[in-house]
Amino acid sequence: MINKIASSLSEAVAPITDGSSVMITGFGDSGLPRELIDALIEQGASDLTIISNNAGTERVGLARLLELGRVRKIVCSYPKSSGSVVFTELYRAGRIELELVPQGTLLERMRAAGAGLGPFFTPTGYGTTIADGKEQRVVDGKGYVLEQPLAADFALVKAYHADRWGNLTYRLAARGFGPVMCMAAKTTIAQVDDIVPLGSIAPEAVVTPGIFVSRVVRKDAQNGRS
């Protein structure tokens, strides 16, 4: 019997090791898997590479992970949201590496990895500093930059409902980066509001099929509880 349900948040993030690359969903404060991030903070893995659209705000969640010195490098499109104080401090002090990627390119690089494609040409950033050191090519009069697939060891994903096979739905615009990150990570861990019986999610309403998901956990599943 397929059973991807983890009985606690700490069990769900247990396999993350030092040096791992970790994708984290979210757009600003929307779609963040807050409970999984807190479990990762508690878990202790360090020397992480974080792939996420933003770099955290205030001194909680992702920003707290940064502040604790657990993140070696961040790959993101927009680390300067108001309130991104921790990232700003670390970056100016030269204590964190930044790979800045246009948001659509970030998504497409993850999708390429998840879909088994190799490098691809995108018009985004052609002729800009983002293209420095990359192959550029003009096709039919339009300029393109060659970008590489981006995979990760883990993805922490905020979803809405899951069943024991890992089929997922998302709530409103929290869908965001979820479907693409689920494809691009070797191990995808999704936190959900509710775990429902197999068959409760209509086949046409499944947004991310369980084949892309390794573990699901209720966002309120504390240690020792299921």
| Residues forming the site for another protein (CB under 8 A) | 1-2, 27-31, 77-81, 84, 87-88, 91-92, 98, 100-105, 107-108, 110-111, 113-117, 122-130, 143, 163, 165, 167, 171-180, 183, 198-199, 201, 203-204, 206-207, 209-212
CB of 211 to a copy of itself, least distance (A): 16
Question: CA–CA separation, 26 vs 103, rounded Å?
Answer: 12
Which of the listed partners (another protein, a copy of itself, none) does 192 bind, with a CB threshold of 5 to 8 Å by partner kind? none
Helices (H), the chain: 9-13, 34-43, 61-67, 85-92, 103-114, 178-184
Q: Over the range 89-114, which residues count as b (16 or more CB within 10 Å of their CB) and which as e?
A: ebbeeeebeeeebbeebbbbbbbbbb
Which of the listed partners (another protein, a copy of itself, none) does 154 bind, with a CB threshold of 5 to 8 Å by partner kind? none
Residue count of the chain, please give it: 226
Q: What torsion, rounded to 10 degrees, do the Cα atoms 43, 86, 19, 214 define?
A: 60
Which of the listed partners (a copy of itself, another protein, none) does 2 bind, with a CB threshold of 5 to 8 Å by partner kind? another protein
Q: Is 121 in the site for a copy of itself (CB under 8 A)?
A: yes
CB of 81 to a copy of itself, least distance (A): 26
Q: Is 120 in the site for a copy of itself (CB under 8 A)?
A: yes
CB of 88 to another protein, least distance (A): 6
Question: CA–CA separation, 14 vs 214, rounded Å?
Answer: 13
The closest of 52, 142, 62, 143 to 98, measured between CA atoms, is 52
CB-CB contact of 77 with 107 (8 Å): no
Binding to a copy of itself (CB under 8 A): which residues in 35-64? none
Which of the listed partners (a copy of itself, another protein, none) does 210 bind, with a CB threshold of 5 to 8 Å by partner kind? another protein
Question: CA–CA separation, 49 vs 6, rounded Å?
Answer: 24
Residue 59 neighbours by CB distance under 10 Å: 12
Which CB sits closer to a copy of itself, 4 or 109?
Answer: 109
CB of 44 to another protein, least distance (A): 28
* Chain positions contacting a copy of itself, by CB under 8 A: 108, 112, 115-123, 137, 139, 142, 144, 169-172, 175, 203-205
